[in-house]
Amino acid sequence: MGNNQQPVLLAAEKLRKFYGEVRAANDISLEIAQGQVLTLVGANGAGKSTFLNLLTGLVKPDRGEIRLLGKRITGLAPEQRAKMGIVKTFQLEHVFGDMTVFDHVRTACLSAAGKHYSMFKDISTETEINGQTEQLLELFDLARVSQSLVKNLGHGFKKVIDIATSFAMKPKILLVDEPTSGVGEEEKYHIMELMMNQIRANNLAAIIVEHDLNLVKDLSNETIVMHEGEFIARGAPGDVFGQDKVVEVLVGRGF
């Protein structure tokens, strides 16, 4: 299953997170190697977002371990994990609305270079950073809107900006939470294509949460079905979606 020859990049071991009675993550374990792309499907409230948030550190687990390249990172803050290469894009709109697209991506480039506290340097003299930013904007087809304010752009644009900003962090593993939710059919494929091209070109690991099962089949040859905080099936999308228990879990949302 998957790229077993590659060393394990990120490992989650028996992660548990309960919200009162609700089991958002019930002893989940997962290993993912470099270049491996997984998709994660499941009904609303199955714990998909919680799982991604556990990996990024936005949610603290009740128990369990997370390791990046063998190093324990369970207690680290989100910003430290982001620095180490675990970067997440958001399901809902999480963008810096008052910035231009250029500044939006540049912020992440600066952060990746560790230039947080550089107060007395004019930002226009950061030629290396500005070059990187422009390159990224080219790659994600954003150069033509680089001077627009993010809040004035459409939903699809904001998604692409979010993804481009995540790539500026030079991630090792990308956690993508429903990249196409709320986006029209046509834009959906465009966004996915832009993203997948970059994931493959950089040989990144990725976990993608997606509702559109047709899209899931195109994205990756390995998918995981989640239900009530547990992984109930794992394998090639074609096989997995045929299983009875999977149909039962997913059918609720009009599969």
Partner 1 sequence: MGANTRTGRMMPSYIDDRLIATIVLTAIAAVIPLFVSEYVRTLIQRCLLWIPPTFGVYIIYSLLRQVHFAQSIFIGLGSYIAAFLAGKYFVTSELLILLPLSLIVSIGVAYVLGIFIMRRTGFYFAIMGIAVTMAFWSLVYKMRQITGGSDGISDIKNPSLFGIQLGDQGLYYVSLVVSLGLILLMRRILHSPFSLQLRAISGDLQKAESIGIPVNGMRRLAFIVAGANAGVAGVLLAFSYNYVGPTTFAWEFGAHFVQAAIIGGVNYFVGPIVGAFVFVGLEFLVSTWFPNLWEVVIGVIVAVIVVTVGEEGVTGIVKDLFGRTLKRANLEERTYSDGK
User: Which residues of the shown chain bind partner 1 in the complex (CB under 8 A)?
Assistant: 56, 58, 77-80, 82-83, 87-88, 90, 94-100, 102-103, 106-108, 110-112, 115-127, 129-131, 134, 143, 146-147, 162, 165-166, 168-169
Under 8 Å CB-to-CB from 84, ≥6 apart: which residues? 68, 73, 76, 172
Closer Cβ to partner 1, 89 or 223, answer by number:
89
CB of 166 to partner 1, least distance (A): 7
Task: Please say whether the beta carbons of 161 and 143 come within 8 A.
Answer: no
Tell me whether strands 8-19 and 22-33 are parallel, antiparallel or unpaired.
Answer: antiparallel
CB of 79 to partner 1, least distance (A): 5
Distance CA 79, CA 61 (A): 17
Residue 177 burial by Cβ neighbours in a 10 Å radius (0-12, 13-18, 19+)? buried
Closer Cβ to partner 1, 173 or 225, answer by number:
173
Under 8 Å CB-to-CB from 25, ≥6 apart: which residues? 15, 16, 17, 47, 50, 51, 54, 61, 64, 229
Closer Cβ to partner 1, 162 or 222, answer by number:
162
Under 8 Å CB-to-CB from 18, ≥6 apart: which residues? 24, 26, 62
CB of 130 to partner 1, least distance (A): 4
Buried b (16+ CB within 10 A) or exposed e, 92-126: eeebeeebbbbbbbbbbbbbbeeeeeeeeeeeeeb
CB of 45 to partner 1, least distance (A): 20
Closer Cβ to partner 1, 3 or 100, answer by number:
100
CB of 12 to partner 1, least distance (A): 18
CB of 242 to partner 1, least distance (A): 36
Copy the structure tokens of residue 236.
């090639």
Closer Cβ to partner 1, 90 or 241, answer by number:
90
Closer Cβ to partner 1, 99 or 196, answer by number:
99
For residue 37, which phi and psi values (nearest 5 degrees)?
-115, 120
